[in-house]
Structure 1
């Protein structure tokens, strides 16, 4: 039994939320192009690809000379698949089927049959791009307007099918909360409640729907199950309680399990790693990548760093729709990710079968004696002392509000073979000296804890690759840190977000002389320039560098160091005070791949080398007090997506000229006391999506030309004068409302501490496509 076939038999009443996608595909089929076109539907298992394709197929078959629907298995047999195609094409035209042919003859016969015909064929559930190499020779392109539709879970496979401009890719999204609710009700209550949910069951029912996260096949499966139960609260409470194990979703489990088994070996461990992360938890991609490297999951490549290889692994898992991107930045980089709850159930079952890891949560207290990875997801009171006998290699704490000192000592004393010790967000205020005895440790995180200092024994951790102290209370590193010769990532700073942002909001760490020997460092973020910055010159592998409390005396030395960092992608420099000049003019050959740059402190003028940064994506200036307009040097940077100016310019006018900032998506104009006029010419900032302005007390009128910004989706004003606000708000007269009425979201906010509060919001309804 192939559970994928179940989606072919969903009744018309249950087809909720696919209307717009169906209409879009039909319009593509009917676009009038005579060349053979391929339409690829991409999405994770159970998202409705097959259902959508079938609705389109049924709607369109009469528009073609012949048609066929082919379900492609992972282990398809070429000969059998060709016979099925011939059979369906012949049946669609009522012709007799030829008998007993070999693969070569079948290919020839199929191609011969389709010559000069307008055909439609669907290949459902394609797994590999090699399939197209095999099948395309059977599908002639006689300029008759033939169409091929494929469904796949793998975005790379869809890309391989896209060989011309008329080929299209549609990435399916989960159902909205309301569409998901409609679908659930039609399945669960149609037979005895006419599709309406009884009021006493609505709260539980909506929670059940939320657990399905917009996945149509999950909604239909659980709705079908509940349709067979009595509509009484006690029955539904019992079923709701059992949903944590998803025991009833066996068909979905089978469908989604196929995706795991198709993974290459090196990705299976990476995928199973999500089992240690709590349900509904989004993990930062960089954290996950560092963990994979520490686990030795990532293969070395002579032309790439381990981090780049691991990023490719994650990209493939996302493109296969096994992992979901939960936060995509404006530069289209995935910053955090997660797995669907149903997928996580599969991971946990497989992890248990392989003894890959064990999760202690919700009353679990005992461990499999063979487990090597342990993740604790609730208060540590559930942890039995018997785990001290385990040979744990990786230890994680999630959601642990209480962390007894005795348990901390037990972990460190018992688990001598630890490679990974991840205490991020734990209720922890110190690290004992014993941590230095964990000689195999590669990853240590006390991020977002109350740890104030590191023990001197940290210097014995010669295998350590990642030391994450971000948002802890550590302000100084022991001199012994220079013994960590394999260290790749040193993240050590905090932000004071209780006060209004200022030059000293970011607090770096003090480091002693001698850290220049850490030559494998890729990230050093942030270090105080308290002992000079000459050791940084030796750190030539750095990709990311952050420096605080820079003085004018250190400027030339910093420039010399930066010129040696040919791999540098991110540079953030802040001065000792607002009056301290950042002397960073003296770079003749800047890092060629620099993508992000922040200069916080006074600049006598804009460094000339900045205009040569062809890969720069994000740049911000703060407290620079430049007297010359910086826009002239920045407007033609070819890849710039974000620009921030915070007390950066002391002039009275900013002029965005036509043709400038062609790719910019985000613009922030903050705290300019003298600025009184902003002009945006037509043709400037054509792709701008987000604009934040203020406080700018001298700006009396709306920036001229803002109506030209047709891609602007969000306009935010911070602490602007009431007279400025009232010129825009319709209920206050709003003589300038016409300038911003095309923008979907306009907000007036006030800043209190480091937090924005919206006082007035204007929203325009965006038409649904």
Structure 2
């Protein structure tokens, strides 16, 4: 992360010198010299990358630079913090004197760093650049990257198709009595991938009335298993808050007792776990099944004498998998095939290792020399060290801009499903994403994530409705590699759960359990710049803990407390002046302090607090704000009522949610680059005035309208000309429209995703008229009272996906869906028998593999099994 550290300090220093030079009073000269040295150093990193790739930068060289940069960053940040602190209490004369006294010490530190960087740069010829001729990385265009993502999203778990069919048969054709199936195999063999393939199989989803997946390796108690199933699958989070363990057991047992269920217990490490979990799942006579995955034969034997042992891939299957990854199903040149077979064979039959090496080879020139260098890099490794060697090669071949992003995955708990939206915001706040012409920071970061997925270092978990990555995860073996590699450079540390190390001198800390305990016992952490917390739901964060953050964690830039329940949000939060990312959740806070607007460097602000009503947020002071998320109706003050308004909010991309009355006048015109807008509240009085300004938002792509249930319903939507023509996604929730919205929404020329959710429309009939929705790819209907859905010929010509959930009154699906050649996926939740039969017939009509049909049944619903 040396290059990232240089870039972060350079950006920070350049901004302060340009915009807030008064904060560096007394050290401006030294800071300017350091800035020049950092520019030179940054350019040198980039030239190395262009010429030789990441392998060219020796570990010693990078480590020396990073240590010096961290020294300078600590000195400058602390000096700025003290300057801000004393400015409000001292007169100008005394302030200048204090800054002068402190500044002399800081100036000496800065000059020492500057001299050190210059010496390293002058000595660069002493560092040997190895394999320069072999590390030429081809540049891929957007179309090829997208093609890779699409190709491998649809590729089967290569090598385990026969095993998948065997397990599916065992799950659905066995005895009526509850049965247990165990999968045993080495780490990286593909147990979870195979299990996921089975779990998401159409036959399985239709056969079982209830399914749940729990990763046992990341839970610490039986209660956590209970909570995981009840909260994630039964969606009863509020109902179980105050339940005892005994009550939770009874709740789950009672639900499953008369249900055909499938429970996956993934990555079980200890035999005694099964003794604790066995009694949670009733031995009913409905054909229920439990699938367990483990690396240990004795764990499987303690559950059942029969289990599936996954053998490593043989030589042929190993090469087939590697070839598919590198050539996307195309032909391998004859001169490379022999080398490729040898490379695949060195992976010991482990799909994970093969895929990582495939990611390396896919980015290299397809030459004998290039492939020979890869083979020689892994040929010397012992069998016990083979995975580590492969992971190391995959990491070392990353371009400089991806290495920091990849190691960042070590922050998160093992097997954690990560929101791409949050991840991208974090990367930007950390300074990992540089500015590029004709692309936003978010677009660049999305490309980075897609490239890591393409390299098979990161797994795609869920896709967005409109395309792209929704969630992702990292394999537990690669996760351990990330933590180990990040610790080497004191870039990142984790504490809690299965790890017990403290932050030490690391710049970033992830706390995975007992968060308040850690903060209370580690009250000084001036080295920290990022603090992400991943505790159990329900842990409270009080005012005393806030005070510890103000005093000991004052230099933090990234603060994520969303896994905690923050009791209040104090006004003193403004003291954390370096914050760029802030994520909070509270069930008791009733105010959002106005002082939060004084966090002028804040880029992302997320607040989930249902008791906070209509908070006034002075966005006009937050010129660096890019994303604002609030669960209610935040109020944007009119620009003419704000005395300290500086300029328009050109950086703002997301504003969700604000009140409808905030959209009056020219308020939204001062946000010219707004991409996503959420409006929540009373539409009855303000819908017309709000839409008068919406049409002028030329960059807006996503619009969400949510009615507050306390206010009157919205009768009809404005005419479609009032909507921005750039919209690609529209979501309506609780609006209770009485007039069919399809008439207006169907005219939007670029609309690709439409979601009507929770009584968005109270009518009985939806009509998609001829030539409407020319670009719509995804339609989601949830909890509507419709009984009829009509689709005229020529409508929905681009439709790919349909989701219908809790629309019990819908009597039938449109027959014209059979004529839509683009339709690829249909999800039906609790459909009636006529809808179900039509969907199955539609799947047959489309042909094998052409339509992915997913059917989810109610507890007492019909099952095709």
Q: Which residue of 2 aligns with 1:202?
A: 301
How many Å apart are 1:423 and its aligned residue? Answer: 0.4
Superposition map of 1:592-741 within 5 A: 592-598=726-732, 600-602=735-737, 604=739, 606=741, 610-621=745-756, 622-625=759-762, 630-632=767-769, 636-644=773-781, 647=784, 654-655=790-791, 657=793, 660-668=796-804, 671=807, 679-681=814-816, 683-686=818-821, 687=823, 689-692=825-828, 706=839, 708-710=841-843
Higher mean alpha-carbon deviation, 374-383 vs 313-322, is at: 374-383
How many Å apart are 1:442 and its aligned residue? Answer: 0.6
Superposition map of 1:173-188 within 5 A: 181=183
Superposition map of 1:269-284 within 5 A: 269-284=404-419
**In the alignment, does 2:858 pair up with 1:759?**
no
Match of 1:549 among 662, 677, 681: 681
Q: Which residue of 2 aligns with 1:716?
A: none
Return the index of the structure with the highest Cα Rg.
1
1-structure distance, mates of 2:662, 2:183? 61
Superposition map of 1:80-119 within 5 A: none
How many Å apart are 1:471 and its aligned residue? Answer: 5.7
Is the contact made by 2:497 and 2:513 (CA closer than 8 Å) also made in structure 1? yes
Instruction: Assess, with a 3 A threshold, how the Cα gap between structure 1 residues 269 and 210 changes in structure 2: closer, same or farther.
Output: farther
Superposition map of 1:260-409 within 5 A: 260-362=395-497, 367=502, 369-380=504-515, 381-382=517-518, 385-386=521-522, 388-399=524-535, 401=539, 403=541, 405-409=543-547
How many Å apart are 1:711 and its aligned residue? Answer: 6.6
**In the alignment, does 2:544 pair up with 1:413?**
no
Per-residue CA distance 1:33-54 (angstroms, 9 max, x = gap): xxxxxxxxxxxxxxxxxxxxxx
Give TM-score scaled by structure 2 length.
0.53
2-structure distance, mates of 1:405, 1:75? 48
How many Å apart are 1:615 and its aligned residue? Answer: 3.3
Is the contact made by 2:766 and 2:788 (CA closer than 8 Å) also made in structure 1? no
Unaligned stretches of 5+ residues in structure 1: 1-72, 77-125, 133-153, 188-195, 223-246, 494-506, 714-741, 750-756, 764-769
SS of 1:545's partner is strand
Instruction: Assess, with a 3 A threshold, how the Cα gap between structure 1 residues 544 and 555 changes in structure 2: closer, same or farther.
Output: same
SS of 2:843's partner is coil
Q: Greater relative contact order (Cα 8 A, min sep 6): structure 1 or 2? A: 2
SS of 1:492's partner is strand
Is the contact made by 1:218 and 1:249 (CA closer than 8 Å) also made in structure 2? no
The structure that is helix-richer by fraction is: 2
Q: Which residue of 2 aligns with 1:564?
A: 696
SS of 2:546's partner is helix
**In the alignment, does 2:714 pair up with 1:580?**
yes
**In the alignment, does 2:592 pair up with 1:457?**
no
How many Å apart are 1:212 and its aligned residue? Answer: 12
How many Å apart are 1:478 and its aligned residue? Answer: 3.6
1-structure distance, mates of 2:852, 2:428? 44
1-structure distance, mates of 2:471, 2:312? 18
2-structure distance, mates of 1:369, 1:491? 33
1-structure distance, mates of 2:393, 2:386? 11
Instruction: Assess, with a 3 A threshold, how the Cα gap between structure 1 residues 302 and 205 changes in structure 2: closer, same or farther.
Output: farther
1-structure distance, mates of 2:636, 2:312? 46
SS of 2:608's partner is coil
For the aligned residues, what is the CA RMSD? 4.9
Is the contact made by 1:366 and 1:383 (CA closer than 8 Å) also made in structure 2? no
Give TM-score scaled by structure 1 length.
0.59
Higher mean alpha-carbon deviation, 356-365 vs 273-282, is at: 356-365
2-structure distance, mates of 1:669, 1:569? 25
2-structure distance, mates of 1:212, 1:444? 46
Is the contact made by 1:394 and 1:421 (CA closer than 8 Å) also made in structure 2? yes
Unaligned stretches of 5+ residues in structure 2: 1-52, 57-133, 168-181, 190-294, 319-345, 352-381
How many Å apart are 1:284 and its aligned residue? Answer: 0.4
Instruction: Assess, with a 3 A threshold, how the Cα gap between structure 1 residues 258 and 440 changes in structure 2: closer, same or farther.
Output: same
SS of 1:467's partner is strand
Per-residue CA distance 1:357-404 (angstroms, 9 max, x = gap): 111224866645432111111113345745504321111111153546
1-structure distance, mates of 2:54, 2:761? 60
1-structure distance, mates of 2:839, 2:518? 59
SS of 1:446's partner is strand
SS of 1:445's partner is strand
Is the contact made by 1:548 and 1:573 (CA closer than 8 Å) also made in structure 2? yes
Instruction: Assess, with a 3 A threshold, how the Cα gap between structure 1 residues 549 and 200 changes in structure 2: closer, same or farther.
Output: closer
2-structure distance, mates of 1:297, 1:427? 29
Is the contact made by 2:675 and 2:700 (CA closer than 8 Å) also made in structure 1? yes
Is the contact made by 1:373 and 1:395 (CA closer than 8 Å) also made in structure 2? yes
Superposition map of 1:193-272 within 5 A: 202-203=301-302, 249-272=384-407
Q: Which residue of 2 aligns with 1:145?
A: none
How many Å apart are 1:260 and its aligned residue? Answer: 0.6
How many Å apart are 1:354 and its aligned residue? Answer: 1.1
